[in-house]
Amino acid sequence: MTDDPKTLVSTDWLARHLKDPDLRLIDASWYLPDAGRDPKSEYDAAHIPGARFFDIDEISDQRSALPHMAPPPEKFISRMRAMGIGDGHQVVVYDGMGLFSAARVWWLFRLMGKTDVAVLNGGLPKWLSEGHPIEDMPPVMRDRHITVSLQNHLVVDVTQVAHASKLADHEILDARSPGRFSGEEPDPRPGLRAGHIPNSKNVYYKTLLNENGTMKTKAELREVFDAAGVDLKKPVITTCGSGVTAAIIFLALERLGVDRKALYDGSWSEWGKYDDLKVATG
């Protein structure tokens, strides 16, 4: 893998740059409720030296009834300033699964116009397996000025997705498991219908990853999209259960140089809730 400080960096790269004064590390661990894991207490017990904890549920738009929607720019600015993350920093995001929720926070930075941000390939599990250092002390954080420039084209709402679904002029890619996509498995969130957005295609996020939680090579990623019948010349909308694993597809597309792409932030938590929106199964 070629290290790219704008998309994906290796544990070797991070080990070399760990003490760089302009590096800012973020632990963006987040788990589905049924995982039985507490990301903040895991962070408190052990994290990569210097890492700050990014609470995906708190740094969100809490005016919305939907889970962890993208925060307003003002809230993002205030939280990042307090965490000592600002202009001129190289940000590296990781999580406790390998590559899961880190991509969501990477996408949030992109949404806010910050491009010097990468995901740690393989995350904390790979870092630990290689014997790299960890600590349990929170870092000393000093306020840092940060400017943002909202990139509205990187996010779409339910109206835009409904339009794209009806016209079939976009590739709508769903990162959920095949069982949830087909409607054979019930959704883990209560009150949501089973199935998928009409004219969407299933690109299960795990098919983009290796068993050790690292992202597949660019050639292998292309094979996954080809196997799912995806035309990458069309504009792409990524979706999932609540906008977390949709960002893994988004990151894979960025690795492949696909420019026209956006993430459906409401995802199935929104689409599956409203009876006036059509649902496909099978």
Are 14 and 92 in contact, with CB atoms under 8 Å apart? Answer: yes
Question: Are the C-beta atoms of residues 213 and 122 closer than 8 Å to each other?
Answer: yes
For 173, the 3-state DSSP assignment is strand
Q: Which of 28, 240, 244, 253 is catalytic?
A: 240
Q: Residue 28: is it exposed, middle or buried by C-beta count within 10 angstroms (0-12/13-18/19+)?
A: buried
State how far the Cα of 39 lies from the Cα of 45, in Å rounded to an integer.
10
Residue type, 189: R
Q: In angstroms, what is the C-alpha Rg of the chain?
A: 18
Annotation marks residue 240 as catalytic: yes
Beta strand 8-9 with 117-120 is: parallel
Q: Which residues are catalytic?
A: 240
